[in-house]
């Protein structure tokens, strides 16, 4: 007599519109942090950055203009380098640290009762998977707020979720994670899928 295998417990993906709302909240927080960083810059550096943004200068020309600006204003070079580095690191640190410290949540996800899970289980992702997820998501987020046409390809990271039945974005696929409702159990089922 053969034993019947119990059905594998499935963990449903989070609602795509709730994910978008949570991500929007996270981006508002990141932009507020970046605004605070920029407001600490001297006015000459701030005016230069504003000009670069409003004129939507091509990337190659932007490098040349930045070099000329630094030659004319050597004291602003350090601040420009610092703000450039922090502009790239802020989304990465925000996504990585909040998901580690808040058990798979960012502040936006926590607001909408969502969290990140590993594979198709309720488990939290390992730090390596969270790092991959945060790096890809940060690059895609930077592409979203920058005017660099080379980075537009990273916007596909988010669009994949609309065409994927599991609602996984590119960063979810690469890190083997899934965003799920936060009410799921914290323990893994006893009869787990052998593909885990």
pLDDT tier at 157, thresholds 50, 70, 90: confident
CB-CB contact of 126 with 118 (8 Å) = yes
9-13, 31-35, 83-87, 156-160: range with lowest mean pLDDT:
9-13
Mean pLDDT to the nearest integer, 125-153: 80
Beta strands in 24-121 (DSSP E): 114-118
Determine the pLDDT at residue 184. Answer: 53
Task: State the pTM of this model.
Answer: 0.75
Q: CA–CA separation, 97 vs 143, rounded Å?
A: 21
15-19, 77-81, 90-94, 189-193: range with lowest mean pLDDT:
189-193
pLDDT digits (tens, 9 = 90+) for 160-194: 888 888 889 989 999 999 898 876 555 544 555 54
CB-CB contact of 64 with 52 (8 Å) = no
Determine the pLDDT at residue 5. Answer: 58
Mean pLDDT of the chain: 79
Terminal C-alpha separation, the chain = 27
The rounded radius of gyration (Å) of the Cα atoms in the chain is 21
Q: CA–CA separation, 17 vs 10, rounded Å?
A: 21
pLDDT exceeds cutoff 50 at 196? no
Mean pLDDT to the nearest integer, 74-88: 76
Determine the pLDDT at residue 164. Answer: 85
Rounded to 10 deg, the angle between the 59-72 and 74-101 helix axes is: 120
Beta strands in the chain (DSSP E): 114-118, 177-181
């Amino acid at each position: 007599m053969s034993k019947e295998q119990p059905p594998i417990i499935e963990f449903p993906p989070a609602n795509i519109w709730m994910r978008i709302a949570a991500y929007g909240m996270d981006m508002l927080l990141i932009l507020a942090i970046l605004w605070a960083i920029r407001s600490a810059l001297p006015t000459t550096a701030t005016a230069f950055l504003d000009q670069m943004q409003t004129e939507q200068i091509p990337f190659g020309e932007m490098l040349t203009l930045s070099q000329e600006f630094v030659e004319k204003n050597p004291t602003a070079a350090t601040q420009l380098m610092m703000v450039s580095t922090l502009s790239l690191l802020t989304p990465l640190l925000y996504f990585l640290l909040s998901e580690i410290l808040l058990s798979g949540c960012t502040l936006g996800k926590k607001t909408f009762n969502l969290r990140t899970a590993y594979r198709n289980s309720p488990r939290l992702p390992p730090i390596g998977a969270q790092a991959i997820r945060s790096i890809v998501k940060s690059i895609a987020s930077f592409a979203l707020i920058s005017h660099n046409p080379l980075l537009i390809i990273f916007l596909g990271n988010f669009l994949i979720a609309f065409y994927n039945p599991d609602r996984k974005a590119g960063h979810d696929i690469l890190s083997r994670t899934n965003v799920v409702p936060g009410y799921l159990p914290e323990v893994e089922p006893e009869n787990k899928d052998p593909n885990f």
